[in-house]
Amino acid sequence: MSDRTASENRRESAVPRAREESVTGERTDPASTSTVLLWEKVLERSNLQRAVKQVRQNKGAPGIDGMSVDALPDFLRQNWPAIRDQLEAGQYRPQPVRRVRIPKADGRERLLGIPTVLDRFIQQAVAQVVSAQWDPHFHPRSYGFRPGKSAHQALKRLQADIRAGGQWTVDLDLAAFFDRVNHDRLMRRLKDHVPDRRLLRLINRFLTAGVMDGDHWSPTNAGVPQGGPLSPVLANVVLDELDWELERRGHRFVRYADDCQILVRSQRAGERVMNSIKRFVEDSLRLEVNTRKSAVDRPWYRQFLGFTVTRGDHRLKVSPKALDRLKTRLRVLTRRTRGHRLADVVADWRDYLLGWKAYFGIAEVPSPLREIDKWLRRRLRCYLWKQWGRSGYRQLRRRGVSVRDAWQTSKSAHGPWRLSHTPALYRALPARYFADLGLPSLVAR
């Protein structure tokens, strides 16, 4: 064996490094790479290093084996050669995903399937290669889970289509999309740009690995379990067929994952489009349209990715549902930190609020955000008033409130929430006080 061949063998069988290296973000042009090499690309050292890094960044709960993401690097150092041999021999068997139920705002539950950390790592390595092969062929109006695409771009595209005359929207919602994807159709479509049989076999095994719900195992004969790195890529492969059908029919549309808005000029046209697309989705894609959530309506009465638009000038505005979810989340955080110092409560809110602002900061209507800022401060005034208890009078006087106002407030029969809106609490705890504690403002500055 030559020195060069031995070196290459050692390099290809090496354990993927745990240290974090920068990802270039460059996509391989499929026209310049033979699809015969796809399997080799999955197992390339650089691809595996990116996969390790991404899985660790995504964090997430353990699967059925209990392994955490932090334990992955050491596990791979010790076991990767044997795992690689199983993959090469076609003998690797993914473990079932762990069923997790996430409550939804409407009282129902979203079902997630959490793969083991090892399976997440292998899925990520596969997803990176499949995405690079498929992404150049996806429709440009598909924005979900794609390199260089974002929800903000989807919102701007929708806004432009509305301003261009799309005064009615066909708001298309797919019922339990991730649970109903037809495996046979998905695998046939995957072959268009991923003809590597070993890679397809492995993907199919991930799809059919089953679900562990407590101690009960169930087979997965349909669907793409939400929670794994492969799911978003495979969802785009399925719905890409819908995108190009809409293109063929000449529609203006925006799709982000399974959320799709089709813009038309009249209600009559919208109803016609809804009926015809519903038939296509059910007959061709073998999916189901959620008639309870789908509708033909004015864009300013619908929400998309947490936003809506104003009626006159079609500015982006945070939807009422998104604001309600924010309030609900902060109420939960407040209950969790009950009895803590106010500074601790603000610190507990801060990361969540900054993340929320980073996404919803593109809103062009600031008035709802100003109202939320006021609600946040009132919530904190209420929290602190409860903590003060019998010392409320002294605390108000210490903060410059008059004897009369402090006495009337501390002896009032009204509850804490009502009192948090009184002049005495506003004077004692002004907006500047909370800003000094580190409370972010949601209104962009």
Each residue of 52-68: pLDDT tens digit? 999 999 999 999 999 99
- Reported as type and span, the H/E element at residue 103 is strand 97-103
For residues 45 and 21, the answer to whether their CB atoms sit within 8 Å is no
How sure is the predictor about 110, in pLDDT bands with cuts at 50, 70 and 90? confident
Question: Residue 149: exposed, middle, or buried by beta-carbon count in 10 A (0-12, 13-18, 19+)?
Answer: middle
Given a cut of 60, whether residue 208 has pLDDT beyond it is yes
Using CA atoms, how far apart are residues 137 and 131, in angstroms rounded to an integer? 10
CA torsion, ordered 283, 284, 288, 292, to nearest 10 deg: -80
Q: What is the pLDDT of residues 283-318, one digit of tens each?
A: 999 999 999 999 999 999 999 999 999 999 999 999
Closest alpha carbon to 266 in 165, 163, 172, 156: 165
Q: What's the pLDDT at 15?
A: 44
* E-assigned strand segments in 180-270: 211-213, 216-218, 252-256, 259-264
Counted residue by residue, the chain has a size of: 445
- Reported as type and span, the H/E element at residue 323 is helix 320-336
Q: What's the pLDDT at 10?
A: 41
Closest alpha carbon to 302 in 174, 177, 168: 168
How sure is the predictor about 163, in pLDDT bands with cuts at 50, 70 and 90? very high
Among 16-20, 100-104, 212-216, 250-254, name the most confident range: 250-254
Average pLDDT, stretch 186-198?
92
Adjacent-strand bridge partners of 171 = 261, 295
Tokens of 155: 């919102």
Average pLDDT, stretch 428-444?
93
How sure is the predictor about 431, in pLDDT bands with cuts at 50, 70 and 90? very high
First vs last Cα of the chain: how many Å apart? Answer: 65
Q: What is the largest CA-CA distance in the chain?
A: 95
